[in-house]
Chain A
Amino acid sequence: MSKVSIRDLTYSYAGAPSPSLSGVSLDLPVNAITVLFGPAGGGKSTLLRLINRLNDLVEGTSRRGQVLLDGEDLYAPGVDVTALRRRVGMVFALPLPLPGTIRDNVVYGPRLAGVRDRGRLAEIAERSLRQAALWEEVKDRLDASAFSLSGGQQQRLCIARSLALEPEVLLLDEPTSGLDPISTAKVEGSLFALKESYTIVMVPHSVQQAARIADRAAFFLGGELIEFGEGQQVFTAPREKRTEDYITGRFG
């Protein structure tokens, strides 16, 4: 069953010579990790940001085609964008803790959504930090500044911050690009656990990572979807010559 469906999506930024995405159609299944990979500038990050409408913040763009969440058009008039972003969480390449304590960061989203009860917020904080495999490391210093954490911990804090809203879909844009191998392994480990209950879409920071964690893999090149299939198939027996060239390192 597909959670998110992309239908013939074409998208351009102002002043760009060619569209960032052209005619992309894609079904993202539930309870699986779908990776979007390919060389830089292929439209992966743009596609991620279209799934929770973060690109609304960019001016002068044009879009054709549809993005459906549970069959509903996200760009239909009257869609509550803030509610949508609570359903579709996002983690960015650079961990960016908000000013404040570790606890403040985790419960930032629920607080904005109107949760005031301290007990409820404490529950949310613990659950999210456990899901992001950070709880054991920070449980005794939840009131320390979020900036006192290491880079790897900050990124897991950002994952916990997204999970605090109990999103249905989790988008990750190169979440381990700034992390050492140990932190990367921890993040990947928590993603494996999370896919049991979430739909995960991730732009990996390397082909190796893509191959490690992908249930489904989509190869993007110059704004076009070249190949989409089971992770194992795409990385061991790609159907497209261009996918094979990229995976084996002949370009990109």
Chain B
Amino acid sequence: MTARLVVQRLGFLLLGLAALIVIAPILVVVAGIVVRGIGAISWEFLAGMPRSGMKEGGILPAIVGTLLLTLGTAVVAVPVGVGGAVYLSEYARDTAFTRAIRLAIVNLAGIPSIVYGLFGLGMFVLFLRFGTSILAGSLTLAIMTLPVVISTSEEALRAVPTEFRTVAASLGGTRWQGIRTVVLPQALPGIITGVLLGLLRAAGETAPILFTVAAFYLPQLPHSPLDQTMALPYHLYVISTQVPGMPPGVQNGTAFVLLALVLLLNFAAAWIRRHFRRRRPW
């Protein structure tokens, strides 16, 4: 074996090891939660109200709360985020103003989520008087999600070759017609992936909902956007650290449900990406 081959083998070995180091903790965490949590899953656990200080019963309000918050986040973040991305990618010229917007987006993505929580408290709960509510929580999560949605959508739009826009223009299309009929459809898989990844993060976050919506113990379903609600990540935090004597089955079951929800969204994103990539012409 020549020296070059030895180096190559060694290189592959190291790269494989690096990949293993990345994957191993994920596998361990997922496997651990699945093994311990799946036993706690029952119809009552998924569809029942919590009872006796959350030590018994189900976690339905937390599941519904998280689903509603994620939906609320999507309703706000998707139109604003995708609209912003279309503006930045298709309309905006490179000026000091747009550079400032881009800088702001990059910086927003780097802000710790607890800061979003405090902002939400000040802005939506107190100043706009939404109170601790699904509305305030969704808006807070939406603002946290926006940078992800905007930057991934913008990237997806920019990945569509310029020539498509030129062709649309040469056939008498206005800029918007070209975007609507040619650019957006081709950028859609990338946009959907970005949106799902952003929502994924929103669904799993605790800090932003801490002061804006999450209820410690509220064994009922919300009736209006101005109601408080329980939510899975916060519920998990509460039953793991705040309530002594919590049966481990409830904790592991809750973790399992949250994980399943997030993984489901993740697989959906991967599937959409794969499905559309096969149909992409270039």
Listed in ascending order, the chain A residues whose CB lies under 8 Å from chain B are: 52, 54, 57, 59, 82-83, 85-86, 89-90, 92, 94, 96-99, 108-109, 112-113, 147, 161-162, 165
Contact = CB atoms under 8 A, between A and B. Distances in A.
B167 A96 contact: yes
Interface stretch (B17-25, B66-74, B180-188, B260-268): B180-188
Contact of B93 (A52, A59, A109): A59
A112 B179 CA distance: 12
Contact of B172 (A59, A85, A99): A85
B170 A52 contact: yes
Interface of B: 93, 163-174, 177, 181-182, 185-186, 279, 281
13 contacts: A82-B173, A85-B171, A86-B172, A94-B163, A96-B164, A98-B182, A99-B279, A108-B171, A108-B181, A112-B168, A112-B171, A112-B177, A112-B181
A98 B172 contact: no
Contacts of B181: 98, 108, 112
Given A85-B171, A98-B182, A161-B171, A92 B163 contact: yes
A121 to B, nearest CB: 14
| B contact face: mostly helix, strand, loop, or mixed | helix
B277 to A, nearest CB: 13
Contact of B164 (A82, A90, A98, A113): A98
Contacts of B182: 98-99
Contacts of B164: 96, 98
B281 A165 contact: no
A20 B183 CA distance: 30
Contacts of A98: 164, 167-168, 181-182
B165 A57 contact: yes
Contacts of A85: 169-172
B52 to A, nearest CB: 58
Contacts of B167: 92, 96, 98
Nearest to B173: A112
B130 to A, nearest CB: 43
B170 A90 contact: yes
B163 A82 contact: no
Nearest to B280: A99
A85 B175 CA distance: 13
Given A99-B182, A99-B186, A99-B281, A165 B172 contact: yes
Contact of B166 (A54, A97, A109): A54
B166 A82 contact: no
B163 A96 contact: yes
Contacts of A108: 168, 171, 181
B141 to A, nearest CB: 34
A161 B279 CA distance: 22
A112 B172 contact: yes
Given A54-B166, A54-B169, A59-B93, 20 more contacts: A57-B166, A85-B170, A86-B171, A86-B172, A89-B171, A96-B163, A96-B164, A97-B281, A98-B168, A98-B181, A98-B182, A99-B279, A108-B168, A109-B171, A112-B172, A112-B173, A112-B174, A112-B181, A113-B172, A162-B170
A183 B177 CA distance: 32
A47 B277 CA distance: 37
Contacts of A82: 172-174
Given A94-B163, A96-B164, A162 B186 contact: no
Nearest to B175: A57
A75 to B, nearest CB: 16
Contacts of A113: 172
A98 B281 CA distance: 9
B93 A89 contact: no
Nearest to B279: A99
B172 to A, nearest CB: 4
A112 B171 CA distance: 8
A108 B169 CA distance: 11
B171 A162 contact: yes
A81 to B, nearest CB: 8
A162 B182 CA distance: 16
Contacts of B174: 82, 112
Contact of A99 (B93, B169, B185): B185
Contacts of A147: 281
A190 to B, nearest CB: 18
Contact of B170 (A83, A89, A94): A89
Closest A-B pairs by Cβ, 4 of them:
A109-B171, A86-B172, A90-B170, A85-B172
B179 to A, nearest CB: 12
A181 B206 CA distance: 65
A216 B35 CA distance: 80
Contacts of B169: 54, 57, 85
Contacts of B171: 85-86, 89, 108-109, 112, 161-162, 165
B281 A109 contact: no
Most chain A beta-carbon neighbours within 10 Å: one of B167, B185, B279: B167
